[in-house]
Amino acid sequence: YFKIGKCYEMMENWDLAENYYGRIIEKAPKGSVASNAASYQLHYILLETKKYNKVIEKTSETSDPYNLIFRAYAHFEMLDWEDSKLSFRAAEASFDHDYYSKQIESWYSAIKTAKNAPLKSKTPALISSLFPGGGFFYLRQKENAFGAMGASFLISAAMVSSSVISQKNTLSLKDNKQMIIPMSGDILSKNDSFHSSSGYLLPGNLKLSSKKGSVLVPPAVLFLGLYFGSMWKAVYDIDEANQKLVRRFTGRVTKKLSINTFMDYEIPEFIIK
């Protein structure tokens, strides 16, 4: 059962692995090599499947050094630095061996580094946000940063290039209809004045006027909404960004200081009679 469970574990088929380890615990005497090893493997599976609360629950009030190690890893993954440190100290005392003390010593340094990690703060995020997308760059959210910059550039370009063309002065209703609404399709303008189209004369007092004020209002409102929205979002995301920063660190630590280093407990032998 242990070998089968181990095979399923290596295939990351956690449910079947748990099933076979559970069979061992049901059948083997409590406290036996097989029962203890199966129990440790179940804790390992809980760690691998990120069920840290269950590891802590199942190892409460334990004095077993291996269970304490699993407990310390679970607390570390949950960013509970002090509880993790206490569990490692308890495991070190329970092992009472230089080999394990040296292994655990590295964890004390890792926990200290994690506690003193340079986290992001709200003031620099707010100051960086004065430049569109700068707050997201500060938080290392590159997709959001490029999105805010690109949208700001497009809206600014639209504001600069937009204008409304209208006519200056008015035309009297008594004027010739053909002078008011020329029938030809080649109306030309130069220096904001209409030129005579082919065959029809236009009034000389009819001119074009460019206005930007009314056109600028919608993109200006959109730009300001995007600008202040990105500032608020950068400040709002500080806690999440800090958590991701710390979790990247914990991921590197647990990969380097793998729990497999401590999984040297006795396992049931596969004996063929």
Cα 246 from Cα 77, distance rounded (Å):
10
pLDDT value at residue 247 = 72
**Binning pLDDT at 50, 70 and 90, where does residue 185 land?**
very low
Q: How far, CA to CA in Å, does 21 sit from each of 68, 85, 104, 164, 165?
A: 20, 29, 28, 76, 80
Percent of the chain with pLDDT over 70: 56
Q: Which two tokens stand for residue 71?
A: 């407990």
Q: Under 8 Å CB-to-CB from 167, ≥6 apart: which residues?
A: 206, 207, 208, 209
Query: CB 121: neighbour CB atoms within 10 A?
Result: 12
Q: What is the mean pLDDT of residues 98-123?
A: 81
Q: Under 8 Å CB-to-CB from 234, ≥6 apart: which residues?
A: 125, 126, 128, 129, 135, 136, 138, 139
Size of the chain in residues: 273
User: Does 11 score more than 70 pLDDT?
Assistant: yes
